[in-house]
Amino acid sequence: MNNSAREDILGAIRSHLAASVPYDKQEISHGSSRMNTDTNPISSASICGQFKMSLEAVDGHGRIVHGDKEIAQALTEIISVLSQTKIAISDNPEVERLLNLTDLEIEELSIAPNAHDIFRFDVGISTAQAAIAETGTLVLDSTGERHRLVSLVPPVHIAIIRASQIYRTLGEVLTLIHGAKEVSPAVTFITGPSRTADIELTLAIGVHGPQELYVIIDEVN
């Protein structure tokens, strides 16, 4: 049944194109319009600064830190002000290790809870596989880590990234994703907290996804 629909549609496309004339082919070389990728080396301090600035322009919070001790300190500061501390973390062991360096009192801790359980958590913590400095974007790749739900459902999302994972442009990151041996089933770009302006164009933060997005950026690694 479906096969005949497939043949009909492809047949209709072919016959209509055959009845037509080609488009006025414009000679363009692909990529000619894209920004020249600056090949000058960029210091990790300035790329971290650029990422943080872009992130804050879209209402996210960036914290530049140096090493594990300061990451733990940042986690403590962010979480200790919350009234509830049910925490869901991704299955990257790094996250659990860093959380264990804090002396936080945690009501409940769960690693990558499933779609039924995830709703009761207050905070989600994950890492990210890459980031884009020019837009303040986190890149979450499902092959490396189970963080699809912890980065989405809890009202607060904390991501921990290293300076070496930050790329300058969107184009560089697209090349990276496509260059992988096999494109991941789910890659997610996150640029700031969830937002909407559907009521009278008034900005409201945290409509369906997290209301708060914190990114802890480790400048030394």
Partner 1 sequence: MNHLSSETFDQNAKAALADAHLRGALKNATSLFGERRKAAAASLPNWEDLRTEARAIKDEVLWHLDRYLEEFVHNAESRGAKIHWARDAAEANSIICGLATECKAHTIVKSKSMTTEETHLNTALEAAGMQVVETDLGEYIIQLAEEPPSHIIAPAIHKTRGQIAELFNAELGMPLTDDVARLTSTARATLRDRFAAADAGISGVNFAIAETGTIVIVENEGNIRLTTSLPPVHIAVMGIEKVLPRFADLDVFLKLLPRSGTGQRLTTYQSFITGTKRQPGDEGPEQLHIVLLDNGRSRMLAHPVTRQSLACIRCGACLNACPVYQQVGGHAYGSVYPGPVGAVITPQLMGIQKAAQLPYASSLCGACREVCPVKIDIPRLLLHLRGEISPLKGKLSERLAFKIWAQVMMRPSLYKMSSVMGRFMQRFVPVAKAWTKGRDLRPIESKSFHELWSDE
Contacting partner 1 within 56-95 (CB under 8 A): 58
Cα separation of 75 and 71, whole Å? 6
Q: Identify which of residues 75 and 215 has a Cβ nearer to partner 1 in the complex.
A: 215
Residues in the chain: 221
Using CB under 8 A, which residues numbered 96 to 125 contact partner 1?
112, 114-116, 119
The Cβ of residue 116 has, within 10 Å, a number of other Cβ atoms equal to 7
Q: Do residues 62 and 217 make contact, with C-beta atoms less than 8 angstroms apart? A: yes
Minimum distance of partner 1 from residue 70's CB (angstroms) = 28
Strand partners, 108: 86
184 binds partner 1 (CB under 8 A): yes
Q: Which of 98, 190, 216, 218 binds partner 1 (CB under 8 A)?
A: 190
153 binds partner 1 (CB under 8 A): yes
DSSP 8-state secondary structure symbol assigned to residue 36? P
209 binds partner 1 (CB under 8 A): yes
12 binds partner 1 (CB under 8 A): yes
Minimum distance of partner 1 from residue 103's CB (angstroms) = 30
Backbone angles phi, psi at 11, to 5 degrees: -65, -45
Q: Do residues 158 and 124 make contact, with C-beta atoms less than 8 angstroms apart? A: yes
217 binds partner 1 (CB under 8 A): no
DSSP annotation string for 147-158: -TTTTTSSSEEE
**SS3 of 193, please?**
coil
Minimum distance of partner 1 from residue 133's CB (angstroms) = 12
Residue whose structure tokens are 């409201």: 204
Q: Do residues 60 and 213 make contact, with C-beta atoms less than 8 angstroms apart? A: yes
> Using CB under 8 A, which of the segments 74-82, 93-101, 121-129, 135-143 binds partner 1?
135-143
Minimum distance of partner 1 from residue 220's CB (angstroms) = 28
Q: Which of 32, 39, 40, 83 binds partner 1 (CB under 8 A)?
A: 32
Minimum distance of partner 1 from residue 107's CB (angstroms) = 20
For residue 68, what are the contacts with CB-CB under 8 A and spacing of at least 6?
98, 101
149 binds partner 1 (CB under 8 A): yes
Minimum distance of partner 1 from residue 101's CB (angstroms) = 26
